[in-house]
Amino acid sequence: MAVDIRPITTREAWLDWRRTVVTASRIGALPAFDCHPYYTPLRLYAEMRGVEFPNDDDNPALRRGRWLEPAVAKAVSELRPDWEIEAPDHFLFDPEINIGATPDFYIYGDPRGRGVLQVKTVAPSVYARDWDDGAEIPLWITLQTLTEAMLSNSRFGAVAVMLVDPHRMDVKILDVPRHAGAEIKLVTEVDHFMKDVRAGIEPDPDYARDGTVLRMMLPREIKDRTIDLSGSNELTWMLEQRAELMAEIKTKKLACEQIENKIRHIMGDAAIALGVDNFSVTYKTSHFSGYTVDPRDSRVLRIRDRRPLEQRPKGSSDDD
């Protein structure tokens, strides 16, 4: 592979490079794999097409990873004293197949030769559920490690996962051997995906996960443009289902409010309720600071039920 090694001098330049390629950290979102917990194929497609998304680099999970990454490397050095752990300062990029990676660490001193080390931090419960207590590495992390090993021409890959427990911290080191067949599959699928990106062929949306993506891809309407959906039986069915669900939500919300009001009445002027099995109940005064929201434009989907009242779900209104 003709890999370009680019020294990382500024974060801005590094982010610009990442926007043009399928990076190892996002390769699990390719439509052929679709195994990424945070990225969907449509989100990856939209980014490759130049759609700008809000900066999510400062969410709690990513902050935890950044803060604990040096600690994981330190733990690996103690657990594997024969290894020398080194943090690279470069971005790996194959311009022909549009794959890029920024390895967390390199491993030196192993008889197999240089390795690449991927670092993760998870709760013990997540490790038990998603990693089968170390018997299986999540596929998106395996693909990420394989991509980094391939681009760096390392002899092997490894994943160091820290179990974040305030009472007992532990780090597990799991091997990811290089696999020629998997690497061919990675290259093939990236090439196929990038051809679709250039041709404007979108992956199918995941309607449960792609709400933000769909709004960001089409942030504005074309003024006065209309669409004739008179022959869409599916849309009629969806709107009827939505009306029934909205009526059900409204009914259940009212029931919850009635329960909460009764609890307020029972609590009276008490701040804390004692002796309630399996629940904690407080009724205290909280202070909320005032704030100003910057003005913004946003498309709003409004749906009104124009059917006669007798044809609507019980409890529905004109505007849901």
* DSSP per position, 217-281: HS-SPPTT-----TT-HHHHHHHHHHHHHHHHHHHHHHHHHHHHHHHHHHHTT-SEE-S-TT--E
Read off the tokens for 58.
């400062």
Where on the phi/psi map is residue 250: left (φ > 0), alpha (ψ -120 to 50), or beta?
alpha
The answer to whether residue 294 scores a pLDDT higher than 80 is: no
Domain residue spans of the chain: 4-217
The answer to whether residue 222 scores a pLDDT higher than 70 is: yes
The pTM assigned to this predicted structure is 0.82
The answer to whether residue 21 scores a pLDDT higher than 90 is: yes
C-beta of residue 313 within 8 angstroms of C-beta of residue 244: yes
Q: Which class would CATH give 4-217? A: alpha beta
Kindly state the average pLDDT of the residues 54-80: 82
Q: By mean pLDDT, which of 167-171, 240-244, 285-289, 299-303 is the weakest? A: 299-303
Residues 6+ away with beta carbon under 8 Å from 225 = none
Q: What is the pLDDT of residues 239-283, one digit of tens each?
A: 999 999 999 999 999 999 999 999 999 989 999 999 988 888 899
Where on the phi/psi map is residue 117: left (φ > 0), alpha (ψ -120 to 50), or beta?
beta
Which of the four pLDDT bands, split at 50, 70 and 90, describes residue 313?
Answer: confident
Instruction: Tell me the β-bridge partners of 317.
Output: none
DSSP three-state, residue 293: coil
DSSP string, 94-148: ETTTTEEE--SEEEES-TT--EEEEEEEE-HHHHHHHSGGGT---HHHHHHHHHH
b/e per residue 147-183 (b: at least 16 CB within 10 A):
bbbbbbebbbbbbbbbbeeeeeeebbbbebebeeebb
